[in-house]
Structure 1
Amino acid sequence: MTNDPSEAGDDFLARQFEAHRGRLRAVAYRMLGSTAEADDAVQEAWLRLGRSGAGQIDNLAGWLTTVVGRICLDMLRSRRSRAEEPLDDTPLPAGGAGPEQDALLADSVGVALLVVLDTLTPAERLAFVLHDLFGVPFEEVAAIVGRSPAAARQLASRARRRVQGAPEPEADLALQRQIVDAFLSAAREGDFDGLLRVLDPDVVARTESGVSAGARTVASGAMTYARFGPEGTAALIDGVPGVAVLSEGRPVRALSFTFVRDRIAVIDIALTPERVAALHIEVQ
């Protein structure tokens, strides 16, 4: 089997894999802190998919996430046993993201967060990244690390306490508000290119039911916000510029943003009354 999915004989399988590549790369980068190692992990997942008999896989997205998680866990353990530092990020080969997008990807995680993640054990890092950043259930995390779901939950909890102590970069609220206004305007007008201009190339969008990654995927989802019309408005969500969707003047949905320079890197979407009620929302 070819190493390049774009040249594979099984075009259908290659297309399926490519549809998940952005998310897998984001998972691997947050696990490993290196774009070169992340791409190696994703490439290895492709090779394993080709050897697996893909027709027997019911949930390809879950299977690929599990495989990438296991590959990254092995790489972290190997690195730790040799007392190695993570590889410095270098420009990707032709067809990769390139140095400019590499820098944005690194910023979307945050130098402070990467430093903290490097202090965690491999199992803690995997549990935190997969569950807290990508919404993977603890039952699936437990299968990867070879522990019970309760133990996986404890791993993520310990990691979370460490991460919450990481320093936050200074926020430019005025710039963030401009980005939110541009996001809302583009979503309302169905301006796909306008959405791409305010989204990080590796943006992650999370809801209670799942995670999507990559600017084009997230922008396609954001186009549905056009139906909110005037009910979608700029707001401060826990003190950070975001979007609130109102019904009879009360917030019923909320989009919380994490910003990198002049881009949106993470969108947390609260859809249930319980999650919305837990947020401090000030409509602008």
Structure 2
Amino acid sequence: MPIPPDSDQDTGPGSAQSPGSEQSGLGSLMAERRRLLNLGYRMLGSVQDAEDVVQETYARWYALSESQQQAIVTPLAWLTRVASRICLDQLASARVRRERYTGEWLPEPVRGSTTWTSTAGAGRTSGTGGDDPADRITLDESVSMGMLVVLDSVTPAERVAFVLHDVFGTPFTEIAETVGRSPAACRQLASSARRRLAERRPVGGTTTEHRQVVSAFREACETGDLDTLVALLDPAVESRSDGGGKVRSALRPVTGADKVARFLLGLLRRDPDVELVEEDINGTPGVTVGIAGTTIAVLSADIRDGLITDLWLVVNPDKLHAWTDTPTAR
């Protein structure tokens, strides 16, 4: 899996400059913050949680004395290790919190074909101007909804080892310091997560094929064409919804082409003014659902052999701030 553009070693091994120091410059500061934000999102599946991790990581850095900071040869490696440990702790506690979550828990979707900014400019894609490069999440296969959902099923240590090594290219010797295990054990952790991903997410089609299926899916939903919609769904398709107890949603997965098609069309019939828009979500083609200009749902899909195998419907308003531009607590 390719390392995302944001993980270039601007301030990596070999650099003894402090985060945000005058020597490293603004470019390095943005690069390291962007790397940590991308790391946190891939670890936790939440933009807000990732931002909290970044803030806590920098707070711990600036809590060090000047002599302690100067003793750290590679500040970016230190920041990465600290952020990863914070994520590891959060992943462990998240399992307990999600046992109390109402219905299904799904990762927070992010918007845009290339990048999305998580601060005041939420919802803008690259090239619109005014967004802060330090607050962007780079979208690639490692943040696809399907990938994040599967990663949520592995152990916290497996997820940390996999993300650090396979996505960010961190050596197992450094990962060992983060998770408190030997390099060989960390290699096994990453391998286990990799096998789970291969089992749950076989290689799909091209982006063009994905977009064609999503377009046909949107049209069938808009016209209420049940037969066409069923034909686009894998016989064993599974639909999961996340309302977080804030809005009405299916509390359990809906399985089977006919059941999923009727479920979706039933939702859309509730409001005649509903609007479906094709939009890239987590780097892959998806659909947003809006009423009177306000996005109320974001739908992502996995597609194999020209059929939709998985649907993820996020309707929890606390997870739609990339579209609604309304910062809320999660």
Q: Distance in 2 between matches of 1:56 and 1:142?
A: 21
1:25 to 33, 37, 40: 37
Distance 2:193 2:164 in 1: 12
Give distance in 2, aligned partners of 1:103 and 1:126.
18
Residue number among 77, 92, 100 corresponding to 1:62 in the alignment = 77
Contact in 1 for aligned 2:38/2:137 (Cα 8 Å): no
Distance 2:57 2:48 in 1: 14
Gaps of at least 5 residues in structure 1 are: 1-7, 177-258, 263-284
In the other structure, the counterpart of 2:146 is: 112
1:86 positional shift: 6.3
Tell me what 2:166 maps to: 132
Indicate conservation of the 8 Å contact 1:36/1:89, yes or no: no
Which runs of structure 2 are paired with 1:250-265 in the superposition (5 Å)? 260=283
**Residue 98 and residue 63 in structure 1: after superposition, are their counterparts in 2 closer, same or farther (change >3 A)?**
farther
Q: Offset at 1:88?
A: 3.4
CA distance in 1, matches of 2:47, 2:204: 22
Identity of aligned residues (%): 45
Contact 1:41 1:72 in 2 (8 A): yes
Report how far residue 82 of structure 1 moved.
2.9
Distance change >3 Å, CA 9–CA 34, structure 1 → 2: closer
Pairwise CA distance, 1:44: 1.1
Instruction: Output the amino acid matched with 1:110.
Output: S
Q: Is the 8 A contact 2:143 2:283 kept in 1?
A: no
SS of alignment partner, residue 98 of structure 2: coil
Q: How far is 1:106 from its partner?
A: 7.6
Q: Contact conserved, 2:20 with 2:29, CA < 8 A, in 1?
A: no
User: How far apart are the structure 1 equivalents of 2:284 and 2:92?
Assistant: 33
Please state how far the C-alpha of 1:10 moved relative to its aligned partner.
6.4
**Between structures 1 and 2, the one with greater helix share:** 1
8 Å CA contact retained: 2:107, 2:149 = no
SS at the partner of 1:120? coil
Separation in structure 2 between the aligned mates of residue 87 and residue 261 of structure 1, nearest angstrom: 15
Equivalent residue, structure 2, for 1:269: none
| More contact order relative to length (CA 8 Å, sep ≥ 6) | 2
- Indicate which of 57, 69, 85 corresponds to 1:45: 57
Bigger Rg, structure 1 or 2: 2
* Amino acid in the other structure paired with 2:70: G
Q: Residue by residue, what CA displacement relative to the aligned partner does 1:155-187 show, whole Å, maximum 9, x if unpaired?
A: 1111110011214443146999xxxxxxxxxxx
TM-score under structure 1 length normalisation: 0.52
* 2:206 corresponding residue in structure 1: 171
1:18 Cα deviation from its structure 2 partner? 2.8
Q: Distance in 2 between matches of 1:149 and 1:83?
A: 30
Query: 1:139, CA displacement in angstroms?
Result: 1.2
CA contact (8 A) 1:37 1:87 kept: no
- TM-score by structure 2 length? 0.45
The 10-residue stretch of structure 1 (142-151 or 104-113) with the greater mean CA deviation from structure 2: 104-113
State the distance in 2 between where 1:119 and 1:83 align. Answer: 12
1:82 partner SS: helix
Q: Which amino acid aligns with 1:124?
A: E
Letter matched to residue 108 of structure 2? D
The offset of 1:25, in angstroms, is 1.2
Q: Secondary structure, in 3 states, of the residue corresponding to 1:83?
A: helix
Find 2:192's aligned residue among 130, 141, 158.
158
